[in-house]
Amino acid sequence: MVLGLGTGSTAKHAVTRIGDLLRLGKLTNITGIPTSRMTHELALSVGIPLSDLDSHPVVDLAIDGADEVDPHMNLVKGRGGSLLREKMIEGACKKFIVIVDESKLVEHIGGSGLAMPVEVVPFCWKFTAERLRLLFEEAGCVARLRRDGEGGEPFVTDNKNYIVDLYFEKDIGDLMVASDRILRLPGVVEHGMFLGMATTLIVAGELGVKVKNK
């Protein structure tokens, strides 16, 4: 089985557990495809054999977390900065399981008031950030370059790009239209909206665990 190995706190627990099960002999014939250098290093440390999409273009299953989930199982991911590789690998999956706690559920994408990341090339990033802001000016958009720490150097992704975080005061409307508008901007590499990709959602809450399938 080929597994997509996500990035973040939820994925970290999953990767560690997969390594434990492999070591105990309860899992066999597993190949992992990591979505970040951080996950790559963790997977190697727990003994998971690794590959990539060039060798395994079809992935059986991915398990990952999300930063926001709307009622239609659309996601915001990538606040850890790995959105491009996450989207490539999880988009190649037959099944994509998302595990969150109920605090990540929102009425609409951007509804948490937290960042929706956009990966951009470093060249003239200010120009790109301003064009992104203007796309969603009616939604009260604020565009901020992500930095390492308070006032530090620009955060650099595994692909040597920057992240512009978008914050919205209002609903941005049709997500497919929003996605298309973002991706049409020269200088944009990818955005953190994962639309129609999740096949199963597992939500942990005070009253227990709920499972929703597409």
Residue 86 a catalytic site member: yes
Q: Specify if 164 maps to a domain.
A: yes
The dihedral over CA atoms of 125, 127, 128, 129, expressed in degrees to the nearest 10, equals: 80
Q: Structurally, how many domains does the chain consist of? A: 2
pLDDT at res. 50 = 98
pLDDT at res. 79 = 86
Q: Are residues 199 and 99 in the same domain?
A: yes
Q: Are residues 84 and 128 in the same domain?
A: no
pLDDT at res. 151 = 75
Q: Specify if 62 maps to a domain.
A: yes
pLDDT band at 10 (very low <50, low <70, confident <90, very high): confident
pLDDT digits (tens, 9 = 90+) for 33-61: 999 999 999 999 999 999 999 999 999 99
CA gap 131, 176 in Å, rounded: 18
Place of tokens 């014939």: 29
Strands of the 93-101 sheet, one edge to the other: 31-34, 2-5, 59-64, 93-101, 200-205, 208-213
Domain range spanning residue 155? 116-189
Q: Are residues 36 and 72 in the same domain?
A: yes
Q: Are residues 54 and 154 in the same domain?
A: no
pLDDT digits (tens, 9 = 90+) for 139-172: 999 999 999 977 799 999 999 999 999 999 999 9
pLDDT digits (tens, 9 = 90+) for 100-133: 999 999 999 999 999 999 999 999 999 999 999 9
Q: Are residues 19 and 91 in the same domain?
A: yes
What pTM does this model have? Answer: 0.94
CA gap 173, 76 in Å, rounded: 15
Q: Are residues 200 and 157 in the same domain?
A: no
Active-site residue identified among 68, 86, 90, 119: 86
CATH number of residue 63's parent domain? 3.40.50.1360
CATH number of residue 164's parent domain? 3.30.70.260
